Structures are given as structure tokens and as C-alpha cells.
Amino acid sequence: SYLVLRYAEGDKVSQSVGFYYMANAAGRLSGTLCSGAIYSYVDPAFSTRGMGWCYLAGAASSLMATLVTYLIKDDAAGLQCDACMCIEASQPDEVEG
């Protein structure tokens, strides 16, 4: 939620938060349906194989989310985790006179 508020424009905060929760609910629903389908159809006779495929699908989803997160450009303020700075903000180039 913090990043949604951080990147939301001043007059569209409630709309951005609404889209965030809608996307979160859609992701949970699609994840539930996909994992159920994988578990059911991979090998109905051997259920542990279905669970293994569910774990692999979850790991692949986490990897994709990590890769997408690296594409976010936040050079203006840096990325802060509580009091410590994880990634420092970029400094504007100084023009030498």
C-alpha cells in the first residue's frame, strides 16, 4: 500500500488505492484457480506431484514479480526501508562553471 500512495497523484489517491485492491483480489483469485487446476490435472493419481508443480508455479510467479520490480525507476527519492536507506537517491549532475 505504501508504494501505491507514494506513486499516486494527489487528486487520484483513492482511485489508485482502489485499483491496487482490485488487482490484489484478481491476483489472489487467479492464483487460487490456477493452483487448483495444476493440482487437479497434473497427475490425479499421485497428488504430491501436483503439489510440486504448484510450488514451481509459485516460484515462477515470484521470480516474475521480482524482475518486474527491478524495472521500476525511482531515482528521485531512493528506496527507503524504515530508517535505513536501501538505495540512495540519485544526485543531480552538477554543472561546472
pLDDT in tens, the chain (97 residues): 677 777 777 787 888 888 889 989 998 998 889 888 887 777 666 667 777 888 888 899 899 988 887 777 665 555 555 555 555 555 655 555 4
The one-letter amino acid at 79: L
Please report the pLDDT score of residue 3 as a whole number: 73
As beta bridge partners, residue 85 has: 80
C-alpha–C-alpha distance, residues 52 and 39, integer Å: 9
Rounded to the nearest 10 degrees, the angle between the axes of helix 13-41 and helix 47-70 is 150
Please report the pLDDT score of residue 78 as a whole number: 55
